[in-house]
Amino acid sequence: MKLNKPTKIVLGILTCLPLLAAISIIGFVIFNFLSMFFNQEPAMPLMYLSYLSYIIPYFFPIIFLSMGLYIFYLVHIIRNQYFDNEKRILWIVVLFVLGGITMPIYWYIHIWKNNSSEANKADGLTGNYYEPGTQP
């Protein structure tokens, strides 16, 4: 898959959104629970649930975005012609195990920098680049 630079930038932003959303939601929950814990007023159990009304509307768009990104990266890994079978299986397993942490790393290495295509074109001893089939 050949992507132009603006598409790579938009994909990178979309790739980082679920991770940033998870961090911000966890921070929001921790901040609100700590503020209620250290508050001098008596604790109201329903007050804990009222803060969820601020978070729940963000869950569904982030979940759908994450599912779309999983599908995109899975297809990109499968179609990446520069991977051998071992690397392809490794990236798929790491994608499913680590999920949202893996996607920005994969985006940076294999989409933004596109090192997989350059690494396969490099001569191992000299580091000179060549087009496949033209190496002396």
CA angle 81, 98, 113 (to 5 degrees): 40
In a domain, 115, yes or no: yes
In a domain, 105, yes or no: yes
pLDDT digits (tens, 9 = 90+) for 4-21: 889 999 999 999 999 999
In a domain, 62, yes or no: yes
Residue 103: name the closest of 87, 92, 113, 118 by CA.
92
In a domain, 40, yes or no: yes
The total number of structural domains that make up the chain: 1
3 state SS for 18-71: HHHHHHHHHHHHHHHHHHHHCCCCCCCHHHHHHCHHHHHHHHHHHHHHHHHHHH
C-alpha dist (Å) from residue 2 to 8, 110, 122: 10, 11, 20
Residue 110: name the closest of 98, 96, 95 by CA.
95
In a domain, 134, yes or no: no
Judge whether 14 and 40 are in contact, CB under 8 Å. Answer: no
Average pLDDT of span 42-52:
69
In a domain, 128, yes or no: no
Of 20-24, 77-81, 118-122, least confident by mean pLDDT is 118-122
In a domain, 59, yes or no: yes
In a domain, 126, yes or no: no
Range of the domain at 105: 5-121
- How many percent of the chain have pLDDT more than 90? 41
| Residues written for the chain | 136
N- to C-terminal Cα distance for the chain?
28
